Amino acid sequence: MAVLNVNAAHTDRFDVVVVGSLNVDLVVHAPRLPLPGETLIGDRFATDQGGKGGNQAVAAARMGARVAMLGRVGDDTHGTRLVQALKREGIECGGVSVDNTRPSGVASIMVANSGENCIVVVAGANHGLMPAHVEAHAAVLQAAKVVVAQLETPLASVLLALRLARQGGATTVLNAAPAATLSAQQLSVVDWLVVNESEAQALVGLPAGDAAQARLAALALRALGPRHVVMTLGGAGLVHAAESGVAHHAAGQVQAVDATGAGDTFVGALAACLASGELPEAALQWGQAAAAVAVTRRGAQSAMPSRAEVRAQRAHQDDSGAR
């Protein structure tokens, strides 16, 4: 097959640069999640573009940010599809390279009618995103307003990207997912750390099953170095710890049908709003509203809202709160 032309130089200043994974999502919907060893009859099957990096890039772009992506795909039909989908969103793909030895990443996702999901990821070409590739795009990272990363690509590359971003004065956002153990030294290059309950527990060993526990865990995480810690709690909202203190932000009430990609929607929207100059509290509210819209739809990137839709959701939440 033809090799993707995705290695062109790009040195413009972007609002958001995302360093991370690109996967094709294979999504099965079923009445509930299966028990170990159990076979269920599913309701439907769909294919979507995904990967935490790709998802967050799309979420930021739909919020109006000028976005560039650094990642890696295989020389296969999945890789072509992934890059073409990003380009349709207006995302700069000069930092997406082609791996001739690994296939593109794939995620197998099961979604219950309740909206719960479980995911198995085969990283493929994402594991080929090496520090040398990141270094080659240092100028883009250092010129960005916000740089976002996750942990579905090699840690050395993630940390290098965040260091380069910091050197250029960018705000750094790390979504520490999937769950991993990171040191205070590694977290010292992070301005915003975004985690869920299991990811927080992996980092500091504290439970975060409710808002009270999440407050303590968020404070412990902030003590490791990040200026801001955001712990997402699903339908229970989020906890935000910063120099000013720790606060719980309730979630808007919606009818969730699929939580796939909701966390990535939040991160991408948060990054876009930080890049546009929103204050932290407002950026968090935009992120929550974006995730609230996304869970009412099926899929990951296909469910992510536009800025206008998020604005409407925020207005609806404000009206509901007033009543």
Residue 260 burial by CB count (10 A; 0-12/13-18/19+): exposed, middle or buried?
Answer: buried
43 catalytically annotated: no
Catalytic site residue from 15, 99, 191, 264: 264
3-state SS string over the chain? CCCCCCCCCCCCCCCEEEECCCEEEEEEEECCCCCCCCCCCCCEEEEEEECHHHHHHHHHHHCCCCEEEEEEEECCHHHHHHHHHHHHCCCEEEEEEEECCCCCEEEEEEEECCCCEEEEEECHHHHHCCHHHHHHCHHHHHHCCEEEECCCCCHHHHHHHHHHHHHCCCEEEEECCCCCCCCHHHHCCCCEEEECHHHHHHHHCCCCCCHHHHHHHHHHHHCCCCCEEEEECHHHCEEEEECCEEEEECCCCCCCCCCCCHHHHHHHHHHHHHHCCCCHHHHHHHHHHHHHHHCCCCCCHHHCCCHHHHHHHHHHHHHHHHC
Residues labelled catalytic: 264
